[in-house]
Amino acid sequence: MTDKGAGALMREPPIVKIGDKKYPLRRLGLLDIERLAGIVSKVTKFIDRSIAANIDSFTPQMAGSFLIDYLPYATDEIFEFLATVIGLDAGVPENIVAEKRKKSKAKVFADPNEGTIRDPNVFPLSALPLLIEKLAEHPQVVDFFAGTKRLSSLLKKLIGERKGPSTESSDDTDGATNTSPGDD
């Protein structure tokens, strides 16, 4: 049986220790890019879009900081993503829990987030930066950002070559021209 993809290149998965439990971070793939792009898309309503413009200088550490900084704007999406990375259930968003609690006639309401990433006994507040740090160090994340830098450089080079140098004005032109061929 042969290994498909880059499986043979994957080292042991990074492990984050939360309390006395160790969680290996799963392999990351294209669907994770889609999830993270959705998070970035959601929070870009609230932030400067310079991240996309400067992707070639964006680092895994900056991505980790991004997840923490913009957590309030995409809490559920970030928790769902992080839960899948370490194999925990994402739990139920707090607004849904509050609504169920309000509608419930029971005096004692069972916490639907017990045992999930939203349970502070399983995933305390101090665990969030630990997990994001391990995620930023994940070999596949590091490789992805290295690849985006190479791709960004290549695209800039190709765009620069396509534009070409500006042409000189003809002798019968008085002053500078507005555009030159190739300056679209």
Please write the tens of the pLDDT for every residue from 57-82: 667 777 777 767 777 888 899 899 99
Report yes or no on whether pTM surpasses 0.75. no
C-alpha 38/C-alpha 51 separation (Å) is 14
Domain segments of the chain as ranges = 12-145
Q: Which two tokens stand for residue 93?
A: 């968003």
Residues 6+ apart with CB under 8 A from 17: 23, 130
Reported as a single tens digit per residue, the pLDDT across 108-151 is: 778 889 999 999 999 998 998 899 889 888 888 888 877 877 88
